[in-house]
Structure 1
Amino acid sequence: MFRPLSIFVGLRYTAAKRGNHFISFISLVSMLGLMLGVAALIVVLSVMNGFDRELRQRILGMVPHATLAGYGDQGLEDWESLRDQVLLQPGVEGAAPYVQAQGMLTSRGRVQGVLVNGIDPGQEESVSIIGRHMQHGTLSELQGGEYGIVLGELLARFLGVAVGDKVTLVLPEASISVAGIVPRLKRFDVVGIFSVGAELDANLAYMHIADAARIKRMSTGQVDGLRLKFDDLFTAPQQARAIAQAQPRPLYVNDWTRTHGNLFQAIQMEKRMIALLLLLIVFVAAFNIVSTLVMVVTDKQSDIAIMRTMGATPSMILRVFMVQGILIGLIGTALGVLLGVTLALTVTDLVAWIERMLGIEFLSADVYFISYLPSELVWSDVGMITAAAFAISFVATLYPAWRASRTQPAEALRYE
Structure 2
Amino acid sequence: MILSRHERMIARRYLLPGKGEGFIFLVAGISLFAVMLGVAALVIVMSVMNGFRAELFDKVVGLNGHAVIQAYGGRLDNWRPLLEQARSTPGITSATPLIEQPLMASREGRVEGVLLRGMRLEDIRNNPLIRDNVRAGSLDSLEPGVQNVAIGSRLAEMLGVTVGSQISLISPEGRSTPFGTMPRIVGYTVTAIFEIGLYDFDRAYVLMPMEEAQSYLMLGDAIGMIEVQTADPDRAGEIVAPLAAVAPPGTIVTDWRQMNSELFEALQVERVAMFVVLSIIVLVAAFNILSSLIMLVRAKYRDIAILRTMGATRGGIMKVFMTVGVTIGVLGIIAGLILGAIFLYFRQSVVVFVQFVTGQNLWDPSIRFLTELPSKTDPVEVVAIVLMALTLCVVFTFFPARTASRTDPVQVLRYE
1:13-412 equivalent positions in 2, closer than 5 A: 13-72=14-73, 74-77=75-78, 79-125=79-125, 129-173=129-173, 175-177=175-177, 182-199=182-199, 200-219=201-220, 221-247=221-247, 251-352=251-352, 361-412=361-412
Change in Cα spacing, 1:222 to 1:195, as seen in structure 2 (3 Å) is same
Q: In 2, distance between residues paired with 1:335 and 1:74?
A: 58
CA contact (8 A) 1:122 1:140 kept: no
Shift of 1:28: 0.7
Q: In 1, distance between residues paired with 2:177 and 2:375?
A: 56
Shift of 1:298: 1.0
Q: In 2, distance between residues paired with 1:75 and 1:106?
A: 28
Q: In 1, distance between residues paired with 2:183 and 2:330?
A: 71
Shift of 1:174: 6.3
CA contact (8 A) 2:125 2:139 kept: no
Q: Please, which moves more after superposition, 290-299 or 406-415?
A: 406-415
Q: In 1, distance between residues paired with 2:248 and 2:185?
A: 38
Q: Which runs of 5+ in 2 are unaligned?
A: none
For 2:204, give the aligned amino acid. N
Change in Cα spacing, 1:357 to 1:76, as seen in structure 2 (3 Å) is farther
CA contact (8 A) 1:131 1:138 kept: no
Q: In 1, distance between residues paired with 2:83 and 2:260?
A: 24
CA contact (8 A) 2:75 2:225 kept: no
CA contact (8 A) 2:214 2:222 kept: yes
Shift of 1:181: 5.3
Q: Percent of counterpart pairs with the same letter? A: 33
For 2:42, give the aligned amino acid. L
CA contact (8 A) 2:56 2:198 kept: no
SS in 2 for 1:164: coil
- 1:21-73 Cα shifts (integer Å, max 9, x gaps): 21111011001111111122222222222212211222321222211123325
Change in Cα spacing, 1:97 to 1:375, as seen in structure 2 (3 Å) is same
Question: Are residues 1:8 and 2:15 paired?
Answer: no
Shift of 1:271: 2.2
Shift of 1:189: 2.2
Shift of 1:149: 2.2
Shift of 1:196: 0.9
SS in 2 for 1:129: helix
**CA-atom RMSD in angstroms:** 2.5
CA contact (8 A) 1:322 1:401 kept: yes
- 1:334-389 Cα shifts (integer Å, max 9, x gaps): 22222222322332354456668998753222222111112223322222222221
Q: Please, which moves more after superposition, 354-363 or 337-346?
A: 354-363
CA contact (8 A) 1:175 1:183 kept: yes
CA contact (8 A) 1:155 1:203 kept: yes
Count of matched residue positions in the alignment of Structure 1 and Structure 2: 413
For 2:197, give the aligned amino acid. G
Q: In 2, distance between residues paired with 1:109 and 1:248?
A: 44
Q: Please, which moves more after superposition, 335-344 or 280-289?
A: 335-344
Give 4+ residue runs of structure 1 displaced > 4 Å after superposition: 125-128, 178-181, 247-250, 352-361
Q: Which runs of 5+ in 1 are unaligned?
A: none
SS in 2 for 1:151: strand
Q: Please, which moves more after superposition, 359-368 or 370-379?
A: 359-368
Q: In 2, distance between residues paired with 1:354 and 1:121?
A: 43
Q: In 2, distance between residues paired with 1:136 and 1:361?
A: 26
SS in 2 for 1:366: helix
CA contact (8 A) 1:94 1:126 kept: no
CA contact (8 A) 2:365 2:371 kept: yes
Shift of 1:175: 4.8
- 1:299-330 Cα shifts (integer Å, max 9, x gaps): 11111222223333322222221121111112
